[in-house]
Amino acid sequence: MNSSNPQLNKHGELQHLLTIEGLPRDVIIGILDAARPLTELAGQEEKKLATLRGKSVFNLFFENSTRTRTTFEIAAKRLSADVINLNINTSSTAKGETLLDTVDNLAAMQADMFVVRHATSGAPHLMARHLAATRQDHIHVVNAGDGRHAHPTQALLDMYTIRHFKREFHNLTVAIVGDILHSRVARSQIHALTTLGVPEIRAIAPKTLLPTGVEKMGVRVCHDMKEGLRGVDVVMMLRLQNERMSGALLPSAQEFFKSYGLTPDKLAQAKPDAIVMHPGPMNRGVEIDSAVADGRQSVILPQVTFGIAVRMAVMGMLAGN
């Protein structure tokens, strides 16, 4: 493990994927480049590669997830890995075993990679540090979302989607809209967009759903949806995360949709060729209108498809280092 960046080994290669923050631009570009040929596998009769043959990938999802866990599972299986999905609700952690005890026990079962989603921010970092301290550097950790902190593979697949449809990053204006306060996706997106040289990033949300000091991340804050969407190339919608909210941050979902829901009328403020993205799951009629979600500018389903290739690229890169 690299002491200055725990995600990189001593050669500067990817050892773990924990966060986009601090990840070198050439590593991000390397992942996006590696994913490009993998997107073509989906249309082929033989979809499997031998990259992870003989390797064991453990999916440790301490929070519910369908899309992320499934795409990680598909990605690992397409690389010929042995995939073990741990049922956390019935595992030893539900009986009081600590996270690190679980890691040690699974390491003893010859695990090669952990894909972890956890409600506590920093849990994947804790696992990576523990593996380094116990000289188990051959085991890699992939963060599939931790608390409000980060969701690096989601940000990477979003960057892949943007590059696929827009080719370049240096001339784009990107708007991130909705519940930015509770969104680990938004934080990872902002770090990725900044690292890749996007000149203008706008955060559009009510004051109650913006983190304190978000401007310090290099974004322009807008509270008016139409003003914020004016002339943008990419619209990245976010889900209202009611399960993470405490107290009355919003008057109602209906009021939120009226002011911040993406409708055809509001989208008309963006460039005619602007693309609309959403990490899912979508709340139709809350943050996005069905006419937009299913419309010609939506690239929401391609995001899901690209996500498999990007996660394959990440796992393949980790296995090779």
Residues annotated within the binding site are 67-68, 95, 117, 151, 154, 184, 239, 280-281
* CB-count burial class (<10 Å; 0-12, 13-18, 19+) for 103: buried
Task: Tell me how far apart the alpha carbons of residues 188 and 21 are, in angstroms, rounded to a whole number.
Answer: 7
Count of CB atoms within 10 A of residue 39's CB?
A: 18
DSSP state of 288: B
Q: Extract the annotated binding site for carbamoyl phosphate.
A: 67-68, 117, 151, 154, 280-281
Instruction: Give CA separation, 244 vs 82, 99, 140, 249, 277, in Å.
Output: 33, 22, 29, 11, 22
Residue 235 parent element (H or E): strand 234-237
Cα–Cα dist 261/212, whole Å: 22
Instruction: Please list, in sequence order, all residues whose beta carbon lies within 8 angstroms of the beta carbon of residue 251, skipping any fewer than 6 positions away.
Output: none
Distance CA 159, CA 210 (A): 22
3-class SS at 217? helix
Annotation: binding site for L-aspartate: 95, 184, 239
Are the CB atoms for 86 and 59 separated by under 8 Å?
yes
- Distance (Å, whole) CA 231 – CA 172: 10
Tokens representing 261 are: 């829901």
